[in-house]
Amino acid sequence: MRTVADFYQDCLAAVGQQPPLEVQLADAVSCVLAEDVEAPFDLPVADLAACDGYAVRSEDLAGARPKEEVELPVTEEIRAGDVNPAALVPGSAIRIASGAPMPAGSDSVIALDFTDRGLAKVRVRTQPAIGENIRRRAEDVERGEVVLRKGTRVGARQVALLAGVGRSRVFVHPRPRIVILSIGDEIVEPGSKARPGTVFDANGHALSTAVADAGAQTFRVAAVPDEPHLLRETIEDQLVRADLVLTTGGISYGSGDTVREVLSVLGTVRFDNVAAWPGHILGVGTVGGDEDGKGGIPIFCLPGDPVSAQVCFEVFVRPALRHMQGWTQLTRPSVKAAVDRAWYSPRGRREFVRVRLVGDPRNGYQAKVMGAPASLLLSALAESNALAVVPEATTNVRVGDMLQCLVLE
């Protein structure tokens, strides 16, 4: 039997990081940077006004107060985008827009709220401090400074910074394309009539959502029956658009389960009894490569039970997908929580129990077990927000025991 830790490493070893690709800024969104990004210039490139107002010398407004206003002539107006602003003459003011370059000779900006907003002359009722309302050159970033590190996910805030330093293209690890196959004669699409002997394709839809949540692209294929020829054709057809294939079902030892038979011809896939619950039988390897698996597409084979498939995805597949995308943090965050009930845990297996976490870091967390731990209930899975991890050596979990919990949301 393979340990959870060993099979986890097998999954990571089966995939590699997506090769860096230079893309337009809009196409980099949700991808992970494959390069350190340096600022090619100071940001801001010059001293700028931080608000609408008047550029002045602070000393020219000495003694200004609400009942003793100081009047200055307004000699110029500087707008945002002006390249060569006029210099400030001592004893005068220049009307200035937010974001406009500061004129030589000025040392502060008096905001409009503290003036009468005059055009030819302005009356000011407070003295600004030197440097007030000025964004200094390189206040944000300096030329040559690394502004975003390799491994950073590109979102709206990162796009703002990249555009701000003039980058229109960046190198990223592109989002991997994941093909999802649900396998079984009994599987039908949701929306059709429920009949004895059929089950709706919960796995295909749930795993598509989980894959997208992990940052990858999803291609869900209609359920494939347990027919070797049809299954082989489907897998071969999907390899042209797959960076990884994810299957569910068809991997037990029943006579109708054909995945092992088909994959033994298509690739090098190893099926293991893994010391995990739920889960147990899992497969990992490649398809479509040479005899040694080189040049093949990674494939992960999960159980057909929807709860088992979701748990195994979180424990084994999601970290592999994040590794493909260049993430440095692969696993979910975890906290310790006190469980609210006792139960028996399978000996020699690492059990992942569906729980709902409540609490906070200061007062501690409590884990409410959703449903019976031994029962694989979709309703309990839907109500949970974490997985409580019971170590292999623990068989009797008691009320109040502190367990490590993987936080799902």
Q: What is the pLDDT of residues 88-97, one digit of tens each?
A: 999 999 999 9
**337 exposed, middle or buried (CB, 10 Å; 0-12, 13-18, 19+)?**
buried
Instruction: Tell me: pLDDT of 256 over 70.
Output: no
Query: Quick one: pLDDT at residue 254?
Result: 66
Mean pLDDT of 121-140: 97
Return the higher-pLDDT residue of 217 and 194.
217
342-370: average pLDDT: 96
The full DSSP string for 216-231 is -EEEEEEEE-S-HHHH
Residue 21: strand, helix, or coil: strand
Q: What pLDDT is stored for residue 250 in this prediction?
A: 87
Question: Is the pLDDT confidence value at 265 over 70?
Answer: yes
- What's the mean per-residue pLDDT of the chain? 94
Q: Which of 285, 338, 272, 282 is nearest to 315 (CA)?
A: 282
pLDDT tens digits, one per residue of 312-345:
999 999 999 999 999 999 999 999 999 999 999 9
Neighbours of 381 (CB within 10 A): 19
Give the pLDDT score at 292.
65
Mean pLDDT of 105-120: 97
pLDDT tens digit sequence for 175-216: 999 999 999 988 988 988 878 888 999 999 999 999 999 999
331 with 317: CB under 8 angstroms?
no
- In this prediction, what percent of the chain has a pLDDT beyond 70? 98
* Per-residue pLDDT at 49 exceeds 80: yes
Dist. CA 130–CA 6, nearest whole Å: 63
Whether 255 has a pLDDT exceeding 80, the answer reads no
Give the residue with greater pLDDT, 217 vs 253.
Answer: 217
pLDDT digits (tens, 9 = 90+) for 15-43: 999 999 999 999 999 999 999 999 999 99
Cα dist from 32 to 21, 141, 311, whole Å: 11, 21, 25
Domains and CATH numbers, the chain: 4-17+175-324 (3.40.980.10), 21-43+140-173 (3.90.105.10), 48-135 (2.170.190.11), 334-407 (2.40.340.10)
Nearest CA to 114 among 101, 100, 128, 102?
Answer: 128
CA 401 from centre of chain:
32
Per-residue pLDDT, averaged over 353-370, amounts to: 96
Instruction: Average the pLDDT over each of 55-69, 73-87, 251-265, 346-360 and give the range with the smallest value.
Output: 251-265
What would the two tokens of residue 26 be? Answer: 């809009």
Q: Sheet containing 70-78: give its strands across.
A: 108-111, 53-56, 93-96, 70-78, 121-124
| Distance linking the first and last C-alpha atoms of the chain | 31
Tokens of 203: 């796995």
**DSSP track, 256-293:** T--HHHHHHHHEEEEEEEBSEETT-EEEEEEESS-TT-
Residue 171 has pLDDT above 70, yes or no: yes
Largest CA distance in the chain: 96
What the block records as the tokens of 273 is 């009894």
Q: Which of 389, 396, 275, 394 is nearest to 344 (CA)?
A: 396
Distance CA 279, CA 4 (A): 10
pLDDT of 282:
96
User: Is the separation of the CB atoms in 274 and 4 below 8 Å?
Assistant: yes
**Which pLDDT score, from 0 to 100, does residue 294 have?**
73
Q: Bridge-partner residues for 217, per DSSP? A: 177
pLDDT value of position 252? 79
pTM of the model: 0.85
Rounded-to-10 torsion of CA 372, 374, 375, 381: 70
